[in-house]
Amino acid sequence: MDRMLVVVFDTEPKAYEGKKALMQLDGEGSIVVYAYAVVGRNADGTTMVRQSDDPGPLGTLVGTAVGALVGLLGGPAGAAIGAAAGLVGGGTVDLNNARIGEDFVDDVKQQLVPGKFAVVAEIQEDWTTPVDTRMEAIGGKVFRRALSEAKHTVNEEDVAAMKADMAQMKAEQAKAQADRKAKLQEKMNQLDSKIQAQLEKSKQRRQASEAQAKAKVEVLKAKAAALKAKAIETHN
């Protein structure tokens, strides 16, 4: 199962230990790590990425569930995020991109107070014991949530509602006087711009979701091939 994992630590060195343990579990085949970031909470409530995964099949954190969650943890004022991570402020991300519930974000925020650090990762795990055991031994508090499928329903409903408004204004314009026609046309042009923007946003989300899905398949294939090669080498 694909999950969002957040492990909160009291110190930055402990967070790096947690990241190391996570990658060891990945190397052992206990879990699959798709993307990760080590983050810290600043005194002003913003979140800073201290370290993130090297560009690989999933690329940088941009557009990933991890990147979206890091942005959300920065709060409404936005996140002060390291340039190397290629991310921008929290105002540009939402729960749809993060693919987790608002309650999960709130739970993490309550623990990730200023001065504390966390490992944020998108992983695949079949059971929770390996991660929990390793992280608890280091002193980490574990939060996890299954990732939902990317949903575009709300966006599609918004577009449908705006198109209904557009149809009503067109019908009204056909019967309106000349001065009113111009005003209605202006409103229709503004509404059309909004519709096009929403359609483009939906398109970008679908493309990003498809790209990430393909990248994850490649990650799993590579790991399966590595395990097979290791098994053959051990057998010989």
The string of pLDDT tens digits covering residues 68-115 is: 788 778 743 333 333 333 333 333 445 556 667 778 888 898 999 999
Q: State residue 17 phi and psi, 5-degree precision.
A: -60, -40
Q: What is residue 76's predicted lDDT score, i.e. its pLDDT?
A: 38
The first and second tokens of residue 79, run together, are 């996140």
Give the model confidence (pLDDT) of 113-130 as tens digits.
999 999 999 888 888 889
Reply yes or no on whether the pLDDT at 141 is more than 90: yes
Residue 68: C-alpha distances to residues 10, 73, 146, 204, 223 (Å): 23, 9, 15, 15, 26
The CATH number assigned to the domain with range 2-148 reads: 3.30.70
Residue 77: C-alpha distances to residues 17, 73, 209 (Å): 30, 10, 26
Q: Is 112 exposed, middle or buried (0-12, 13-18, 19+ CB in 10 A)?
A: buried
Helix (H, G, I), strand (E, B) or coil at 97: helix
Query: Residue written as tokens 């398949």?
Result: 217
The first and second tokens of residue 216, run together, are 């994850």
Give the model confidence (pLDDT) of 46-69 as tens digits.
788 887 764 444 445 545 677 778
Report the C-alpha dihedral over residues 60, 213, 124, 17, rounded to 10 degrees.
0
Q: What is residue 138's predicted lDDT score, i.e. its pLDDT?
A: 94
Q: What is residue 94's predicted lDDT score, i.e. its pLDDT?
A: 54
Residue in 73, 78, 70, 79 with CA at minimum distance from that of residue 36: 70
Contact 144, 2 (CB under 8 A): no
By DSSP bridging, strand 141-146 and strand 2-9 are: antiparallel
Residue 172: C-alpha distances to residues 159, 178, 236 (Å): 20, 12, 80
Query: Which segment of 98-102, 188-192, 197-201, 212-216 scores lowest on mean pLDDT?
Result: 98-102
Euclidean distance between CA atoms 184 and 181, whole angstroms: 5
Query: Residue written as tokens 């940088």?
Result: 60
Per DSSP, 106 falls in state H
The pTM is what?
A: 0.65
